[in-house]
Homo-oligomer: A and B are copies of this chain.
Amino acid sequence: MLTPASLTGFLDAASAICGEGQVLPGPAIEPRYLEPARYAAGQAAALLRPATADEAARLLPLCAAHGLRVVPQGAHTGLVRAATPDDAQRDVLLSTERLREVFAFDAWDRTLRVSAGYRLSEINERLAPHGLMLPIDLSADPSVGGLVSHNTGGTRMLRYGDVRANTLALRVALADGQVVQLGQGLQKDNAQLALHQLFIGASGALGLVLEATFRLAAVPRQQAVAMIAPRSLADVFPFYQRVMARFPSLVSAFEAISREAFAAALASPSEAQRWFAGQLPDYALLLELSSELGADQLDLQALLQQLLEDEFGEAVVDAVLGADADCWHLRHHISEGLRRRGKVVGFDVSLPRRHFMAFREAGRAWLAEHFAPATLADFGHLGDGGLHFNLVWPATEPLDEAALREGVYALVRAHGGSISAEHGVGPQLQQAYWRHTDPAVLALSGDLQGQLDPGALLAHTHWGAAATVAAAKGPDAIS
């Protein structure tokens, strides 16, 4: 907590490190830093915008000395409030957007060492002339720090893996200001413990990510996309199995879109005629094949056409081919379409495939019984078991969101699933994390966080047990 006098002293000391114009008191912070993509705005005592890794690292002990908590923020595109401060007295927002010192592309190793402030889109624009990419495909455009801290997955994860699978090394600042290089960025290296793995997906709570070294992938030379109407829900996974048996390494996306989500993504109801003559299926499937070979060597369109012909009248009743851009446009406009229909309550879960459809049915039935006004409009990455079990709630109806969330999470767990597939934990899922995580894992994780950050400087997310946090800090420490 800061008194007005100590705030002035803090701002002066911070300005001495990163320059006067880069240090702002709470009331002067632009809304974009405080307003997350979903959810209400947060608040902070100050905003710091260091330009170098050295400045960023030096700010950490300064904040600790003033009894502040540091909330790192990149592009502020996350969905679990991990980058949104929430305490006007105690939270300092440390923006990494000016951390752009390093962009070291190694064409021979096909790797990129890059500062935390670069955005995914910029990285891929700069790599495109080399025929390479960081193969993370998202609707949002996070920066490196956010990508790493949330281990993002996205629509092409089944082909390229998540951020973790593509991260060879990290440079992090620990809470005491010490900068540590974890990993050398080599493809093959077992000369030390893989400590960088701990910081991937840690919601920014174990250390400040300054740089990452990524393994890059080749940009495909061709793609073939189909929007497919399966005969029934029961046909979806058997069809998926046959696709994977036929050309597993060519499948770069296997997405599902429920009828309700599909309808919401259409620009107008009349547009439905373009898809399956307006007969939207329970679940539409978006299948993408891609290859680094040219069409003269491997004709993906022909492979896809043959697959659909073989399945026609069996698992597949209709399909739209050759409208690649339209298919992806529709897929990426679901969330926006749902928001036009009411309040969206989003769940980012994943499930074992064998329980996927059972979960969906159980969830639908549970909603009908307990939250009847909800319209389920789920969609997701069936190829990797990910599901955005999103629903629309009428703006005019009261909603006990906590009960809704807990009910869905309990169902997910009962079906062997994860309550956070690709968004991470953060303050948004803090309570659910405590409720649904094995006490032994809570204990190990809390010990680890306590060791790396004994003063809880970066503890916007608490990986240890709730009781530990309450005991150490008092109940108001639990945000």
Contacts and interface: CB of A to CB of B under 8 A. Distances in A.
A359 interface: no
Interface size class of A (residues with CB under 8 A): 35 or more
A6 interface: no
Contact of A192 (B218, B353, B433): B433
Interface in A396-445: 416-425, 429, 433, 436-438, 440-441, 444-445
A436 B187 contact: no
B352 A437 contact: no
A374 B93 CA distance: 59
Contacts of A184: 416-418
A109 B190 contact: no
A279 interface: no
Given A108-B241, A297-B303, A440-B178, A190 B423 contact: yes
A335 interface: no
Contact of A292 (B193, B249, B350, B354): B249
Contacts of A201: 190, 193-194
B297 A157 contact: no
Contacts of A463: 192-193
A293 B463 CA distance: 44
Interface of A: 106-110, 131, 150-151, 153, 157-158, 161-162, 164-165, 178, 180-182, 184-195, 197-198, 200-202, 217-218, 237, 241, 244-245, 247-250, 291-293, 297-298, 303, 350-354, 381, 384-386, 416-425, 429, 433, 436-438, 440-441, 444-445, 447-448, 451-452, 463
Contacts of A381: 188
B350 A189 contact: yes
A157 B192 CA distance: 19
13 contacts: A109-B352, A151-B190, A180-B441, A182-B441, A187-B384, A188-B350, A190-B422, A191-B433, A192-B441, A198-B198, A218-B245, A247-B292, A250-B293
Number of copies of this protein chain within its complex: 2
Nearest to A447: B451
Nearest to A151: B190
B436 A106 contact: no
Contact of A451 (B162, B165, B178, B448): B448
Contacts of A350: 186-189
B354 A131 contact: no
A160 to B, nearest CB: 10
**What 10 pairs across the A-B complex have the smallest Cβ distances?**
A197-B197, A108-B353, A189-B418, A191-B420, A218-B248, A187-B384, A188-B421, A188-B350, A180-B440, A188-B386
A194 B187 contact: no
A110 B448 CA distance: 32
A463 B192 CA distance: 8
Contacts of A237: 108
Contacts of A440: 178, 180
